[in-house]
Structure 1
């Protein structure tokens, strides 16, 4: 069973990735805290490439990276690539976003997930990007998920990400879309 390092310190992302990658028989592990890859890209895909490549090179192992975040149309795409750094905690990020949208009726948003897989030499061998359109609620709803999930509403399903079952979120989220695009490519790869 090949070991693939997930280029994140976020256990929530590791848990979600494991669900998508279970069929491949990969053993996933979080990157060591000592490895800190600077996210200097200007897009989600550039940052995913940087993280996957940097971790793969540092460890000499296969590495997969996810860079994802929330883009709100009324805020010019913010928080965008700064979604995780928009405030110091999930609650603070939600509060800041809701405050910035106060009085704004048009609350269209999208979650974006870019994925990149690097070989042990740090070369990107597979990449993709998934998008889930939605809107920002006036107040949090639901208890599941993490991050902005309680305020991200998917009109087609009539639920926030935090109200969805794990299976619904797995199927409809930006990460689900990205992994659905990535899986056929990954199944053709033989990791050594």
Structure 2
């Protein structure tokens, strides 16, 4: 098994990535807690590449990183790369977003996920970006998921992310679409490892 360091301290993220990589011969491990990587990029791809590169270089192992967030059209793309820092809790983030959006008729939004894989020397072997278009509801709906899921409505599914079954969300989501693009590249990468 080849080792692949997931550039996060979040075990839930590791499990999620593991599900997308079923069938690949990679042993996923969390980055050490004491290895902090600042997200200094101004795009999701820049942040994912930076995190993967820094972790790979620091540990001398292959690394994978993602960066994701919500872009709301009427807010000029905000909260964007600052999605996780838009408030201290999910509730605060949702309340702030709904307050800033107000009565705007334009509720169009998209979730974005960038994923990058870095070689042991920190060079980027592959990166992709996936998006899931949707709309922002005026109030939360559903009890599943996390973050902005209760207010992110996907018209083709007629549900919020918080209402969807996990397997449906995994397939339709921005992260699912990013990994769908990444898997063929990962097969090519396996041959160079």
Cα distance in 2 between the residues matched to 1:140 and 1:153? 10
What does the per-residue CA deviation read over 1:51-109, in whole Å, with 9 as the maximum and x for residues that have no partner?
00001111111110001100000111000000111111112111111111121121100
Q: Is the 8 A contact 2:125 2:189 kept in 1?
A: no
- Residue 163 of structure 2 corresponds to 163
Cα distance in 2 between the residues matched to 1:65 and 1:19? 15
Residue 55 (1) aligns with residue 81 (2): no
**Root mean square deviation, CA, Å:** 1.2
Cα distance in 2 between the residues matched to 1:32 and 1:13? 14
Cα distance in 2 between the residues matched to 1:25 and 1:168? 25
- Residue 181 of structure 2 corresponds to 181
- Residue 147 of structure 1 corresponds to 147
What does the per-residue CA deviation read over 1:17-63, in whole Å, with 9 as the maximum and x for residues that have no partner?
11101221322222122111111111100000000000111111111
- Residue 125 of structure 2 corresponds to 125
SS in 2 for 1:168: helix
After superposition, where does 1:3-82 map in structure 2 within 5 Å?
A: 3-82=3-82
SS in 2 for 1:54: helix
- Residue 2 of structure 2 corresponds to 2
Cα distance in 2 between the residues matched to 1:165 and 1:109? 21
Structure 2 unaligned residues grouped into runs of 5+: none
Cα distance in 1 between the residues matched to 2:65 and 2:89? 22
TM-score (norm 1): 0.95
- Shift of residue 2 of structure 1? 1.6
Structure 1 unaligned residues grouped into runs of 5+: none
SS in 2 for 1:24: coil
Structure 1 runs, 4 residues or longer, greater than 4 Å off: none
Q: Is the 8 A contact 1:12 1:146 kept in 2?
A: no
Cα distance in 2 between the residues matched to 1:11 and 1:93? 22
